[in-house]
Every structure is written in C-alpha cells, then in structure tokens.
Structure 1
Amino acid sequence: MNNTPRLLAAVDMGSNSFRLMIGRVDEIQTATGPVSQIFQVDALREPVRLAAGLTADKYLDQPARRRGVEALRRFGDRLREFSPDQVRAVATNTLRVAKNASEFLIEAENALGFPIEVIAGREEARLIYLGASHDAPACAGNRLVVDIGGGSTEFIIGHGYSAKLMESLYIGCVSHSRQFFPSGNVDEYAMKQAELAARREIQVLVRQYRSAGWQQAVGSSGTARALAELIELNGMNDNAQEHGITREGLERLKRALIKAENTNRVRLVGLKPDRIPVLPGGLSIMLGVFAELDIDRMDVTDGALRLGVLYDLLGRSHHEDMRTVTVDQFMRRYGVDRAQAARVRQAAQRLLAQFPDPANERREDNLALLGWAASLHEIGMSIAHSSYHKHSAYIATHADMPGFSKTDQARLATLLLGHAGKLGKLSGRGRFLDWRMLFSLRLAFVLCRRRADVELPEIRVSQRADALEEGFEVRLPKAWVETNPLVEYSLGKEADEWERIGIRYKVVYV
C-alpha cells in the first residue's frame, strides 16, 4: 500500500503577485461518507507586479516579462517532481488583455515546465468563490465574496460551495494606483476621484447583488488581507478586539495615507514594502465596494483563487469536472439532439483511441475535449442551420463556460468550426488545432450522418508520416460501404478536402 501523501499544486499568475500553493489531500470520514479536504503544506509568493509592466497600448514590457519568467523558473524548480495531473497554472487579467500575451506564455511555460491557462473573468470569479467558501467562516445563507486583484476585482454571491452570481470588473490595485496615485502621491482630491471611479464601475451590479442579498461579506486574497492587517495592527477599528475590515477602519486608514501625502512616508505597523505602491489603489476600491454595496463589516480569508484551483483540480480527478456540468447545461440550453451527440461522441472517441498517445498531453484530456466537442457540435443550429458550425464555434469562443480556460474554449471552438465544411478556414488556428482530434470528429460526423442507431463495422484509422507519404488512412469493409453509398460518396469528398490543404487522406476498402 502506498502511504505517500497525495499532493496538488496551483500556480496563480495574478496581475500583482505570482503565487504557488501546494496542498495535501486528506480523505476524512464523516457521518454522510468520505469528504476530501486540502491542507496547505507549502507556499511561495513573488511580487511580480505584472500589471505595472503593461504599456498604454496594452503590451507587456520586457522588465515585467523578465520578472514573471524568473519567478516561474523558481516555481518550476519546486515542482520538479510533480506530474502534469498534479499541477494547474492559471493566469488572470493582465494576460487577458496584453496583446503580446501569447509570446510571454511560451517563455512562461518553458520556465514553469507546465501548461498555463488564461482564464476568463467569470471563471476566475467561480474559482475564487470555490476557494473562499472552503476557508471562510461557516455561513447558513448567501455569502458575498470580493477579491481585489492587481488588474481586476471579482464579485461573487454564492451559497455553500456553489457560486450563483459572478462578475469581474476592470479595476485593480495596480491599475488604480498607477492611474490616480502616480509616484505614490496621495491627497484628498486624488483619493476622492479614485473612490468615485471605483463606485462608477461597481454600480453596474449593485441592484442585482442587493436583490440577491447576503448574510456574510468576505474579502479574499492579498488586498483584503493587507487592509485587514493594517487596520487591526494599528488599532483603527472602533473595537480593538474586532477582526476583519470595518467601514470606520477604512476611513481611518485613508486619513493616515492623506496625512502622509506620499506612500513612501506612511508609517504603519505591518505595512510590507511590496504592498506600499498598490496600497492607495486597493484602499480606494475597497472604499467604493463598502459604499456601493452598503457594507459595514467584512471578514477576510486567505482562501482565494489558488485554493479554488486546487479544489477544482481535485474535482476533476474525482470525476466531478465542472466542464462536464457546463457542457450538459449548454446541451439543454441550445436544444441539442442528445442521441445524435452521443453517436458522434462514441464514434469519434473510438477513432482517436487508435492513434498513439500524444507526446505532450494526456490521452484522457484529449478524449474528454473531443467528447465535449462532439456533444456541442450542433449548438449553432439554435441560431441557423446554414453555416451552423460557425455559430457553434462563435458560441464556444465568446460564451461564459465555467470550468473552461480561454485555451480550452479556443481548442473547443476550433474543433466545432472544423468538424464540417472546408478545412481552409482553419488557417491561423494552428496553436489550438490537433489534426488527429479533428480527423476523428469529421470522420465520426460522416459515419453518423443517418442519425440512427446503426451498428458501425470495424473501422481502422492510422496516421502516416514517413519520407514518401504523410497523412491519414481509413480502412473500411468493402461490403458495408457498398450498402452505404452516401458514406462512400462523403469519404471521397472528405479525401478531396484534406488534399486541398496538403494532407493526404487515403480510403482503403478491404
């Protein structure tokens, strides 16, 4: 029996700090059965301040890229003994908006040694809530979680471990500090303008969030924790024994900054050097949050994005993958013919399984992605039958899909776009395209075109890549093909289409 503790690792590439968290998974027996819990065993934090390197035209400058790569190289050294299924790395707002993010990600992945996912704002919010709900004080009703990051702020209302309302706004402690407090100068006017700017952004969600209501407000991650520590250590709450963030504590902290006139002259117990440049921006946003949502007191939790990533990673290994839930919801929303989707999914996965294992990915991950593509390939029909595959790809690209990273969605959309029609339209999508997966999906689509539960014969597929010939080969029973002339005709058309893009497609009848 292997008694080695099971470890999982999360890398959070935030706009202000990069963080690594390693957790041990423990199975705990309860009255209702076994429950998995994650206990932190190690953590690293690097104040990269990636958002500070974002130029006016949205390019990451070289110093910021270098700081990020160096931090990830150190994280990669700590994770050297980890396997890919133990690690998940996510990047947030700055890499969502940076125009040269793809170039940086190549360097970053080489330094870390693991794939990096750029996640959408609402997916970030979902993961933040998942982490905060596992670490925050117990709450019987709704819980509001606010996470002020370097480049964005997430607002989530949830119940238990499930998020109900999620929003991500483009205000963060780094970007706000740069805009309103250049060189660290703080005065009454600048603070007022920064608060008003934050309040204007927050106003878009006030009515819906207040209508949902909450019994507990929680601030998660670095900014909230730093504010709470400063308020508590400097006795700024009315009740010296009170923990967390209070409205009066924020006001007293604001007056302390204005009195100092510059962040470099602030003398506060517990103020860390790397927090000084972003303190006024984070404070002004939190003041706006308290004012617009009428909050008097907020608890603080360390559990945030990285803990949520660990629990999400744990769920995937326990066959509780949020992406599967999302796909099922999309199938219901867009009225997918589930029987047809199942036929295409089963055929496509059987075909892909005949190819050698991929070099840099897990076969299980590719089979899962191919299955989701098969399940969703007809969602575009809810818009129009003509060019429905383009509508399917558009939905997969732009919809909020909980559990899916931006890279996941791009790969999924590429398969949906390419499963039918001309292959030439996929030019420019090379980074997100797996030809064997696309080949399997297109062939499954041809074989299942009758939309009937018909048993398929044994079909063998292979990929050739030698000096004389490169491409795919399909071997089918000749007798079966003769009784299915539409399949024979479609395979001929399919071969012509692949030949047009320079990939040989050989059909052999045996």
Structure 2
Amino acid sequence: MSKRVAVMDLGTNTFHLLIAEGDIHDYREIVHITEAVKLGEGGINKGYILPDAFQRGVNTMQYFQGLIAANNVTSVRAIATSALRSASNGKDFIKEVEAQTGIAIEIIDGEQEAVFIYNGVKLSGCLSAKNSLIMDIGGGSVEFILGNTDKILWKQSFEVGAARLMDQFHHTDPIPPASIEAMNLYLEDRLHDLFIATTSIEIDTLVGSSGSFETFAGLIETEKARVFDLKSIQHYDFDEEELLTITNKLILSSHKERLGNPGIIPVRVDMIVAASLITRFIMHALDIHKVSMCTNSLKEGVLAGMLERG
C-alpha cells in the first residue's frame, strides 16, 4: 500500500491541508483545502494573535485533525510560518493545538520556508535552466528565491507580507497615491538585500508561487470569458500588458467592487491590493517582463520530502 501523508501549511491568513499518496512525481491528492483563518487579523504588526483569531486557528486545526483521522494518514507535518514565528503568544497557540488535536506544529524560519517553496515550484516543472526569481507573497512575509532547475543561487524571507503592508499603508479605499508612494519607498528600503543579490544575475522570469498570482490569472482569463480551473493546471504564463492592466484595476478598485467580484476569494479581497503593488514594484525595480504563475508552493515542497523518504 502506498504511503498516505498529510501536510499543513499554517500561514498568516490561510491554513492549508493537503492529504496525498503515491510517488513523489506521481502523487494523488485526496484532500486539498484552504481555510481563511486570518490568524494575523488585527495583531499582525503588533506581534500578537488576538483571541478571536487564536480560537479560529484552534477550531481549524480540530477540523483538519478530523479529516486526517478519517483518511487513515500514516505521516503528518504541520508547518507554521511568519505569523506564529513572530507572535509573542505563538508558543501558546502551538501548545493549545497539541493539547486539543495531538498535532505537533513545527515553526520554521524564513530560510527553510524559502527552500520548501523552491522544492514545491521545482516539483511542478515551472523552472528552467535559465534563472528565475520565485516570489511567494504571504500575509506575514514574502519569500524570494533566485534559482533554476539545478539549484538555489540565493534566497531570503522578508517580513513585508500583504497583511503587514495592508495594515501599514492601506487605510483608505481605494488606496491613495500618497500611500502607494509611501509603500514603494518602504519596499525600496526593506528589500535592499534583494537588489544587491540580483545586481549581477540576469533574471529570465518572475515566478509567482500560488496565492495572489492565481487570482491574477483567474481574473485575466475570466475577462476573456474563458473557463479557468486551477485544479487542471500547474503553470500559467502571463502576458505582461494583461498582468499590468489587471493589477492596476485592482489597485484603483474599491472594497465594494472587489467584494462583488466572484474571481477574488474573500480572504484576498483587501490583501490583493498590496499584493498587486508589490508585484508591480518588483517587475519595475528589477526590469522583469516575463512573469508566470505556479500553483505549487510550500506544502508541495514539504510533501515532496515526505514522499521521497518513502
């Protein structure tokens, strides 16, 4: 019987559960769900998980444990990233989850997070022999990984996730030009290491890892009246003009307009503005014209390691 494993990616905004079985290059998804936990809501830049968010997180983990038990999983990993890493009561959350569910959550650092994201993206076949810059926009942090099919050349995690940026700069809707300018100056300062790392390396493609990039792709295809099913693709190449047009629309939109758009999942309704701005900022700052989306991310990278160990 093939090994059946469960991976949980516990992010700042969403908790993901992936249950799969099979071989590393040929696995079957049994359960693949995303829950909008909003663990960082109201407390992301204060470094504290607020009581309501704390309870939502525990409830979601109990729900995940039920699914894991029902599917006869043999091996489980729960990976926590930015929100739990930086929250003063993150350890309390981990203790409570273990007491309620028996699931032991591992907090990983930004470097390890970047490695998992690279492994997930590589597994999907989204990389080539040319150098790509992988970008994973989370709620708490953004990971940048410079690499190709052979290896990682450089990687770093920055605490400039969409929830943090929204909390800091997006207080009026639509976001005012002065706030956009302030955000760009802030990113210029905070992403200094990225600019140094990429100075002498030619980047062929910006590869957006799942999340907001899936929303961008879905909105572009829907506008063309095409059916867009994320489950049937692993990779999507953007037309630069179309990507700039859709991100501009999102930046200029109101909360009401985004909320009424069926192509934007509820948890991403407001954070998609900050995600659009940071995407455009990177394209412009690094003069990148080729952008693609990969549906794989951290959880597939963790899964690859679990299935490989057989």
TM over 0.5: yes
Distance in 1 between residues matched to 2:186 and 2:237, nearest whole Å: 24
Q: Compute the displacement of 1:131 (Å).
A: 0.3
How far 1:6 sits from its partner (Å)? 2.1
Tell me, yes or no, if structure 1 residue 113 matches structure 2 residue 102: yes
Aligned pairs for 1:71-90 within 5 A: 71-80=60-69, 86-90=75-79
Contact 1:55–1:61, Cα closer than 8 Å, also in 2: no
Counterpart amino acid of 1:256? K
Could you tell me whether the CA contact under 8 Å between 2:250 and 2:276 is conserved in 1? Answer: no
Shift of 1:96: 0.9
Find the counterpart in structure 2 of residue 286 from structure 1.
279
Q: 1:191 to 1:293 in 2, by over 3 A?
A: same
CA distance in 2, matches of 1:70, 1:21: 17
CA contact (8 A) 2:114 2:157 kept: yes
Structure with bigger RCO (C-alpha 8 Å, 6+ apart): 2
In structure 1, the partner of 2:2 is: 5
Give per-residue Cα distances to partners, 1:478-499, cap 9 Å, x unaligned: xxxxxxxxxxxxxxxxxxxxxx
Residue correspondence of structure 1 range 304-319 to structure 2 within 5 A: 304-315=297-308, 317-318=309-310
Q: Please tell me whether the aligned partners of residues 8 and 86 of structure 1 are also in contact (alpha carbons under 8 angstroms).
A: yes
The structure-2 alpha-carbon separation of the partners of 1:182 and 1:214, relative to structure 1 and needing over 3 Å to count, comes to same
Whether 1:252 aligns to 2:245 is yes
Which residue does 2:16 correspond to in 1? Answer: 19
| Equivalent in the alignment of 1:97 | 86
Indicate the RMSD between aligned Cα atoms, in angstroms: 2.6
Contact 2:146/2:153 (CA < 8 Å) preserved in 1?
Answer: yes
* Residue of structure 2 in register with 1:301 after alignment: 294
Q: Distance in 1 between matches of 2:45 and 2:162?
A: 17
The residue number in structure 2 matching 1:196 is 185
Q: How much has 1:271 moved relative to structure 2?
A: 2.1
Residue 173 of structure 1 and its aligned partner are, at CA, apart by: 1.1
Deviations 1:99-137 (A, max 9, x none): 111111111223443211000001000000000111143
Opposite residue 221 of structure 1, the aligned amino acid is: S
CA spacing shift, 1:246–1:188, aligned 2, 3 Å: farther
- The sequence identity of aligned pairs, in percent, is 28
Partners of 1:76 and 1:246 lie apart in 2 by 41
Cα-to-partner distance string for 1:22-69 (whole Å, 9 max, x where unaligned): 12223xxxxxxxx75433232011011112242654211101101111
The question of 1:232 aligning with 2:224 is answered: no
Corresponding residue number in structure 1 for 2:198:
209
- CA displacement, residues 249-280 of structure 1 (integer Å, 9 cap, x when unaligned): 343234424543x2223354612222102111
CA distance in 2 between counterparts of 1:188 and 1:225 reads 26
Find out whether 1:137 has 2:126 as its counterpart.
Answer: yes
Amino acid at match of 2:295: D
| C-alpha separation in 2, matches of 1:218 and 1:81 | 36
Shift of 1:314: 2.6
Aligned to 1:489: none
Unaligned regions of 5+ residues in structure 2, if any?
Answer: 225-234
Cα 1:65–1:184 shift into 2, 3 Å:
farther
Residues 1:210 and 1:85: Cα distance change in structure 2 (over 3 Å): farther
Runs of 4+, deviation exceeding 4 Å: 81-85
Report the more deviating stretch, 136-145 or 114-123: 136-145
Amino acid at match of 1:287: R
Contact 2:4 2:74 in 1 (8 A): no
**Contact 2:121-2:127 at 8 Å conserved across structures:** no
Which protein has the bigger helix share? 1
- For residue 157 of structure 1, report the CA deviation from its aligned partner: 1.7
CA displacement 1:373-412 (0-9 Å, x = unmatched): xxxxxxxxxxxxxxxxxxxxxxxxxxxxxxxxxxxxxxxx
